[in-house]
């Protein structure tokens, strides 16, 4: 067997085909949903808590309309924005459900995302935070495994944020209100669901921006290749200073 030093900088398989397909499909769908969602929001750029919300009700957030370069379509059209949003939403929801079930079946979650007991030790978590703050990315075979911050982020996105944005979206649908009135009660009213939907969408955008930043800092060519072809070059170990 080769030593870890011999294996450093080798080309290895990093991401399964199912992960790569879901990643790029998700990127396209989230872009469509976010930009069309902003177009829908422009019809009434105010947010409320509770069941009702209208011009004379108290809004906890009031914004100007988002510019056309941020919306789908690029001009104000509530009908077209709804068309794009409702076309992408069911594909997004079923793709997430399929990915969750597939990840459970092939043990991707148990193998790659489940926390180990030693990872949750405060000392270990603090060390990961320090490494991220110093931009000290893992090298060698350690780069093939998610650290505790990555695991927490991906679990939070896949199992909390994405299901939450789907359920709040369903809560805003009059048709679903008739079929599943418990959703309205769960989120405290349609306007509360709309507010949570809006906040979750921007939380996902924040995650996306941090994700892109980390990809650029870690080496965009290597990172993109691993998500397109699955092939990843192990980073070289850091050189140690001679005492």
Task: Quickly name the fold that domain 4-233 has.
Answer: Fumarate Reductase Cytochrome B subunit (1.20.950)
pLDDT tens track for 184-227: 888 988 999 999 999 999 999 999 999 999 888 888 898 889 89
* Token pair for 158: 């896949």
Sign of the C-alpha dihedral computed for residues 86, 87, 91 and 94 taken in this order: positive
Dist. CA 215–CA 222, nearest whole Å: 9
Dist. CA 163–CA 169, nearest whole Å: 10
Read off the pTM: 0.85
pLDDT tens track for 92-149: 999 999 988 888 888 888 888 888 888 888 888 898 888 888 878 877 777 778 888 8
Averaged pLDDT score across all residues of the chain: 86
Looking at per-residue confidence, does 185 or 42 come out higher?
Answer: 42
3-class DSSP state of 2: coil
Q: Which residue has the tokens 């982020």?
A: 153
> Residues of the chain with pLDDT > 90: what percent?
42
- 38 pLDDT higher than 70: yes
Would you kindly state where each structural domain of the chain is located, as residue ranges? Answer: 4-233
Q: What is the pLDDT of residue 9?
A: 64
């Amino acid at each position: 067997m080769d030593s870890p030093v011999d294996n450093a900088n080798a080309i290895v398989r990093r991401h399964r085909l199912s992960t790569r397909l879901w990643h790029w499909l998700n990127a396209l769908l989230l872009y469509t949903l976010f930009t069309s969602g902003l177009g829908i929001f422009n019809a009434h750029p105010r947010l409320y808590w509770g069941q009702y919300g209208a011009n004379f009700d108290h809004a906890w957030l009031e914004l100007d309309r988002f510019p056309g370069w941020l919306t789908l379509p690029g001009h104000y059209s509530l009908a077209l924005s709804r068309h794009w949003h409702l076309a992408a939403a069911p594909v997004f929801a079923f793709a997430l459900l399929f990915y969750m079930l597939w990840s459970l079946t092939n043990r991707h979650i148990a193998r790659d995302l489940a926390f180990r007991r030693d990872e949750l030790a405060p000392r270990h978590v603090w060390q990961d935070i320090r490494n991220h703050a110093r931009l000290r990315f893992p090298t060698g075979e350690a780069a093939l495994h998610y650290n505790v911050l990555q695991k927490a982020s991906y679990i939070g996105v896949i199992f909390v944020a994405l299901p939450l944005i789907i359920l709040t979206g369903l809560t805003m649908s009059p048709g679903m209100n008739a079929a599943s009135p418990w959703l309205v009660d769960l989120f405290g009213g349609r306007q509360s669901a709309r507010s949570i939907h809006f906040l979750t969408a921007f939380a996902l955008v924040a995650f996306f921006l941090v994700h892109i930043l980390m990809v650029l800092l870690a080496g965009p060519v290597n990172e993109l290749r691993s998500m397109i072809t699955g092939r990843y070059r192990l980073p070289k170990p850091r050189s140690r200073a001679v005492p």
